Amino acid sequence: MSAPASDSPGAWTPRARPLIVVIAAGIFVTGFGWPGIIGRLPFSLLLKNQLHMPAQKVAAFWAVATFAWYIKPLVGFVCDAYPLFGTRRRGYMLTGAVLAGVFWLAFAVVPRSYLPLMAVMTALNLALVAVSTVVGGLQVEVSQRYNATGRLASLRTGLEGVMNLLAGPVGGWLAICAFAWTAVAGAGVLLSFVPVAAVLYREPRGSRADVAVWATARQQMRIIVRSRAMWGATGLLFLVYLAPGLQTSMLYYQTDVLKLDPRFIGLLQLLGGGGGILGAATYAVVCRRLTLKVSLIAGILLNAASALLYLRYDSAAAAAIIDTSAAYLTILATMPLYDLAARATPPGIESFGFSLMMSIRNVAIFAISDVVGSYLYGHYHVGFKQLVWLNAGSSAAVLFFIPLLPAALLAAREEPRPV
């Protein structure tokens, strides 16, 4: 018996369009509404200027508060195994978005001290991860049903570009306003998803707990343990992002040494977002002409070179040029890593395998890299430009690990397919 016309692969239909809107809205609100995007500058400046915290404590705050993003695969299994209010996804979408909005509003009244802010931030991130996870599951389901994996992946990438472009100016403006405005703005972003999901995503009640999900998880972990390609790709991702980070120490350097206004720092983030979009577009062209091995080697060298640009980070004008150029080079350099991650994931466990690698990447960035870089800058008083040399050198050293990857994986090249 043939499938209904409305579910024909490759064609958007009236039944698919509401789901696409829900997916797009979910991706946007959990990205743009994440405190590390819209609230990164206001929160970091609050911790720095009002609570007088050194760079290493600010970095530690973000490392602990984003813990939920490190365990996103586990959250995914919980959501898949245990329905909420009788639904597999709708309950998590609505409850998670409402809770995230409430936690955002809580920042307007919570005491301005480290532990209360940390507690609310951690709870907010857990709610966001729940929404992000079920939206990701819906994306996989819809992309498979309508044979639209590429289109939906492009949608996600495009929305991430828009987030980066908007987050800079919005975050810069919020950073000079009363902090309550940041809380209201974040809550508004998340709560705007509630009517979208409530109206457009109709899911019948009656779903029951499916503990078979955990048996599937054990099977997938056994596949991963035996996969040399995935271990190699995961290790390379971890090492690339392990270099002592510049993110928090950069903010201290920008405000304390260069005396840059928060609104200008937000503008720099916008310029970096534009450079990143150009970098992704460039890789889409060059990946068809180079093997993965060449792309990875060139990417690691470009990553180190982009860090060295910050040796001339001495004025507002230089900052604008360097942030744009470095973002372009960094995205162009890291795209081969995501290409590697996708190719190294064993067949049959694509969603879990890829999300596991991204979680390990998040651990390297937020729990180790930025904390180590900020600790060197704030506690041991390593100069910003010395930190740049450490970052660049550590990034370049990853070249020695490329030969450990399977030769067949390194020889891969993206071949254009006929339309």
> Tens of pLDDT along 227-241?
888 888 888 889 989
Q: State whether 240 and 372 are in the same domain.
A: yes
Arithmetic mean of pLDDT, 17-42 = 92
Do residues 7 and 15 make contact, with C-beta atoms less than 8 angstroms apart? yes
Arithmetic mean of pLDDT, 199-220 = 78
- The CA-based angle 396-397-398, given to 5 degrees, is 90
Provide the pLDDT for residue 351. Answer: 63
Winning range, highest mean pLDDT, from 40-54, 128-142, 324-338: 40-54
Between 340 and 130, where is the model more confident?
130
Q: For the chain, what is the domain count?
A: 2
Arithmetic mean of pLDDT, 63-76 = 90
- The CA-based angle 62-64-66, given to 5 degrees, is 65
Nearby residues of 74 by Cβ (< 8 Å), 6 or more positions away:
none
Residue at 326 is within a domain: yes
Q: How far apart are CA 2 and CA 9, in angstroms?
A: 12
Between 6 and 113, where is the model more confident?
113
Provide the pLDDT for residue 37. Answer: 92
Is the pLDDT reported for residue 184 higher than 80? yes
Q: What CATH number did the domain enclosing 278 receive?
A: 1.20.1250.20
Provide the pLDDT for residue 2. Answer: 33
pTM score: 0.85
Residue at 6 is within a domain: no
pLDDT band of residue 284 (cuts 50, 70, 90) is confident
| Assigned token pair, 224 | 């991963």
Q: State whether 195 and 250 are in the same domain.
A: no
Please report, as a single letter, which amino acid is at residue 416.
P
Is the pLDDT reported for residue 13 higher than 90? no
Handedness of CA 146, 150, 156, 159 (dihedral sign): negative
Is the pLDDT reported for residue 332 higher than 90? no
Q: Which residue range(s) make up the domain with 410?
A: 214-414
Residues 33-57, buried b or exposed e (16+ Cβ, 10 A)?
Answer: bbbbbbbbbbbbbbbbeeeebbbbb
Provide the pLDDT for residue 150. Answer: 56
Enter the DSSP assignment of 89: S
Element containing residue 153 per DSSP (H, E): helix 149-175
87 DSSP β-pair partners: 84
| Assigned token pair, 268 | 């720099």
Q: State whether 83 and 188 are in the same domain.
A: yes
Q: State whether 122 and 159 are in the same domain.
A: yes
Q: How far apart are CA 63 and CA 179, in angstroms?
A: 21
Provide the pLDDT for residue 392. Answer: 95
Q: State whether 204 and 225 are in the same domain.
A: no
pLDDT band of residue 94 (cuts 50, 70, 90) is very high
223 phi and psi, to 5 degrees? Answer: -65, -45
Do residues 384 and 377 make contact, with C-beta atoms less than 8 angstroms apart? yes
Q: State whether 235 and 206 are in the same domain.
A: no
Provide the pLDDT for residue 80. Answer: 79
Q: State whether 373 and 296 are in the same domain.
A: yes
Element containing residue 219 per DSSP (H, E): helix 212-225
Do residues 139 and 230 make contact, with C-beta atoms less than 8 angstroms apart? no
Q: State whether 392 and 332 are in the same domain.
A: yes
Provide the pLDDT for residue 341. Answer: 79
Is the pLDDT reported for residue 45 higher than 80? yes
Q: State whether 179 and 220 are in the same domain.
A: no
Residue at 232 is within a domain: yes
Residue at 264 is within a domain: yes
Q: State whether 161 and 232 are in the same domain.
A: no
290 phi and psi, to 5 degrees? Answer: -125, 150
Q: State whether 23 and 139 are in the same domain.
A: yes
Tell me which residue of 354, 417, 365, 410 sits closest to 391, measured CA to CA.
365
* pLDDT > 90: percent of the chain: 53
Q: How far apart are CA 353 and CA 222, in angstroms?
A: 11
Least confidently predicted of 82-86, 291-295, 324-328, 349-353: 349-353
Residue at 225 is within a domain: yes
Arithmetic mean of pLDDT, 81-107 = 92
Provide the pLDDT for residue 292. Answer: 86
Tell me which residue of 197, 238, 248, 209 sits closest to 373, measured CA to CA.
248
Q: State whether 160 and 243 are in the same domain.
A: no
What integer best gives the mean pLDDT of the chain?
A: 86
